[in-house]
Structures are given as structure tokens and as C-alpha cells.
Amino acid sequence: MASESSQIYHERQRLQYCLLHSLNNLFQQKNAFTRASLNAICEKLVLEEPNKETWKPLSIVFKPHHNALTGNYDINVLIAALEEKGKEVVWHDRRNGSSSIDLDAPEDTLMGIVINASVRRIAGLWDSRHWVALRKIDGVWYNLDSDLRAPQSFKDTDEVREFLDYIIGCSGEVLLVMNQKQL
């Protein structure tokens, strides 16, 4: 990846709020989403669930769609949050590799890409998942990973494809964030 840009909005990782950070980085806006708004989505999802779980003492912390103390939001929260903003999430078919993704699609079609990758933390002792946003800004694709000190630009779409193929090869998930067509 090439250089970084100071004009690009970029939130850094705190606790397990990588979904919150990736959404704000994707929208290029502080507080496009907040902990409160994502927690409200979680509560709404619980109310809409057909198979409600019974309450357990750990339910205070370990909620169905997130951890109340540290974040760690799930895919359902991502989809609901993006739908609230008029976006559609398309799960990329990993069998096709990244070559089937139109990275040159106009911004009014493809807003960006969200990745859910497997990561090892705490000296490799703890496996978890991490949300990362990629977005094309002013014709350049950026990795907006909240674990990075600053956004990193890709030199071209071939480098983006290599990165996505690496993620797919490591059991990562690639989600395309599409702007819904205006009726």
C-alpha cells in the first residue's frame, strides 16, 4: 500500500468497537453511528427475534448481538445499521475471488467494502474477528482499518484485489456496501 492522506476521516480502535469505527470510517463522518445508536439497533433486533433466549445472569454483559461492555457487534447490527442509512449489504461469494467485484463501479453504486477478518490478539493467545472498511475516495481506494495509525491508500485496483483475495484466503468475509437505487 502506498501513502496515507490527512484529509481522510479515520477512527482508531478502542476496545471491541471495530464495527462502530469501520462504519464511521466508511461514511467518512464522526458520529455517523454512535455506541448508543448501535446498541439501540441491537435492542430492536432482540425484540424482532422469533426465538427469544431466556434471561441468564451473563445476559447483562453478553447480549445476543453484542457485548454490552466492549462492543463486539455482529453482522446483524452491521446490516441493520447500513439499511437505516439506505444502503444494501451484498455478501460476496468467496468462490469467485475478488475478480468478480467491480471495483471501478461508480460511487453512486458501490459505496465501499466491509471486511470481517480473523485476527489473533494478546500475543496470539486470543482469536477474534475484526471489522475493516475499504472505500474509494477521490478515485483512490483506502484501507480504513481502525487498527492502523492512519488510512493507507492502495496503489491501484490490482493491489485492492490482492488484499481482498488474501482476506478471503484467510477465512475472511467480504461484504459489498451498495447505494440503493433511488426510485
Q: Which residues are catalytic?
A: 18, 130, 145
Q: Please say whether the beta carbons of 46 and 65 come within 8 A.
A: yes
DSSP 170: T
Q: Please say whether the beta carbons of 88 and 178 come within 8 A.
A: yes
- Cell numbers placing 169: 484466503
> Mapping DSSP to helix (H, G, I), strand (E, B) and coil, where does residue 132 land?
strand
Q: How far apart (Å, rounded) are the C-alpha atoms in residues 86 and 5? A: 28
| Dihedrals phi, psi of 181, to nearest 5 degrees | -65, 135
Q: How far apart (Å, rounded) are the C-alpha atoms in residues 169 and 180? A: 29
DSSP 67: E
DSSP 53: P
Q: Please say whether the beta carbons of 150 and 142 come within 8 A.
A: no
